[in-house]
Chains A and B, each alone.
Chain A
Amino acid sequence: MRAGQIITAACTMLLAGLMLMGCGGEGDKPAQTATTGSESQADTSPIRVGGLIDLSGPTSSVGVPYADGLRAAVRYINDNGGIGGRPIVFDLQDTAYNVQQGLSLYKKMVNTDKVVCIQGFGSAVTEALVRTQAKDQVPNFSASYSAHLTDPRTAPYNFFISADYSTQLRAALKYFRSQWTEARAPKVAFIYPDHPYGLAPIPAGRAYATELGYEIVGETNVALNAIDATTELLPLKNKAPDFCWVGGTTPSTSVILKSAKNIGMTSVFFTNIWGTDETLPALAGADANGSFSNQAAAVYGKDVPGMKIIEQITGGKPQMTHYVRGFVSILTMAEAMKRAADKGAVTGESIKDAAETLRDYDPMGLAPLISYFPDDHRPNMAVLLYTIKDGQLTFVAEEILDRRADWLGH
């Protein structure tokens, strides 16, 4: 037998042997802390939480304030006794909205640093981690609000604190329909980027608009990085929609509002949660006035108990609504951790189980009441509607929908 064949055979056998060894290498659950029920009473060891946020990528303009909110809430929790005396150690890392980077950071956090929970951000990374987190039993409290992530059959370890994009669109449609007084059917149009985030709620919006008796008069795509939307809006203007849904981000919303004003559109524009924040009046100027938006958290300065804490932490310096949502995300996670600690060990699995026992949890008034169920991870069916009046986000109404089973995951 030639030397090459002998080497090949030896390598094959070695490979087979090593693969068999590899079989048992990762048997223990990576996201488990060392504590047990009896130990936890005197346990002051930190509970490790990972943060996978876009701090330098395309969505970093909202990722950075969101991350600030997360950090502030962790400090608040730790200053107030932590989780049954155990502090949260929060390792916040930048994914740059890059899936590969997010995946690599996640593996390090879970397998090397032994985090028990993740605070995530961004559709691409959150969705790429869905399967891995289910396998590792590590919950992800993410800021990616796609409806399919609320279905525990698809994403058993995903939680978020805002109504999903589809629910938000439905709630706004319901609100405007309830305010409609004319005899004819209201006309609605959808404006969104041809992007997973933009497309996610559109089928739900179309179906519910039809159900409510809207007339859908048109749809158009405006890219997230558009600098003008006149071409896209002109065909819509001819159809004279009463309402226009804008499913982009703040920069694209400002472009749409300015272009609409330029061509004399008189429709009421309403936006998805990432389409409006405190920067919109600065970007669109007076053209932003009168537009509506869906939000999931109180704006800075609202008279609720949680806002007093945020004002104290920030020394009265106004923060964006994304900051408040980050704060709520940590509060909700901490509540689940506290419940898990009361029962025994704080592990990814116990946090998930505890989160699923939350019923009308009040994050100090900063967001609508939150509940998760084992077969339904929609935090609530409530959406806060704001309008921009004199350059300020002004609360209009809280619209609450029925928790319809056929809407779960869609």
Chain B
Amino acid sequence: MLTIATGNKAVADAVKAAKPGVIAAYPITPQTEIVEQIAEYVTDGELASKYVPVESEHSAMAACIGASAGGVRTFTATSSHGLLYMHEMVHWAAGARLPIVMANVNRALGPGWNTWAEHTDAFSQRDTGWLQVFVSTVQEAYDATLMAFKIAEDERVLLPVMVNLDGFALSHITQSLATVEPGDFLPPYRLPHAIDTENPCVYGPMTGPNDYFRFRWDIERSMRDAKGVIADVEREFAERFGRSYGPTEDYRCEDADVIVIAMGTLGKEAEVAVDRLREEGIKAGSMRLRWFRPFPDLNLAGKEVVVIDRDYSFGFGGVVAHSVRSKTGVEPYSVIAGLGGQEVTYDDIAGFVRDRHPGKEMWFGVSDHV
């Protein structure tokens, strides 16, 4: 069915199609609309889930952990400080191997209070063991949320998945949305290690160094296997519903001399910048990074690279720029742009490419190349 929706509504609609057993959530701007919409679906009887309105994000994730361990499909949504408040439980969910799906509406962190887009919230959860995907359109927010359940619940993965969408720049903008009847794409779910009183086990007890170390390795092994599972699920989704995705979305990259790497809505904006640059005779391409964990294998041999980070690791550098450098050996031009929702147009992005300084870093609107 074709409709018009915001990014938040698209996530809520995907959750409705996925039919979770339990949804636990706390409202926080700018994701509030997701949990409001889901509450409406549950109240109207359009979605037969248990909706647990908790008192904090720490409790939201704790309730999701309990529900998922209880064996049912589980969802929550959060943003920014909410995500940081649940940080402890974000680790716990992955360590407990629970396929929880969470939408995170990317937003800056205080102080000062800033509700606009930034990726620092998600990156602060980088090492928790969650898979992380960043979307760029309303349609992709819907599709990625549906696929997230299938990826998380695959027995080769059994790790939680975070679907990231930019605050306001995507959460609150409207675009056309094609919804689907998932049918057996998402069959009814029961966790293989669900709690069972017929077979009493302890979960998460005291664990010595050797066993603990093995559990960590199991997470990493699943994270590596997840690359193949993501590809399988995205291929199946494309066959069934006609929309295909990959670890990156590459645009005019084949013959490009210079490639812009960005995430979320800026990655989509970069495609317009590429068209503009091509008109000027600059052979540019765009490689929008969709999956941040597991980090994709990038082929950038022989290319110049401009990385736009809507984040920063203080005292170190842009997180994506450094990830690209350490994974590929390419020395990118690192642009820090869009923090706290700073407006970055395709003209600006084209400007970053024209004025690139490989190996240098520049804070857009604040500093020159350093």
Pair from one complex: no
Which residues of B are in contact with A by a Cβ distance under 8 Å?
A: none
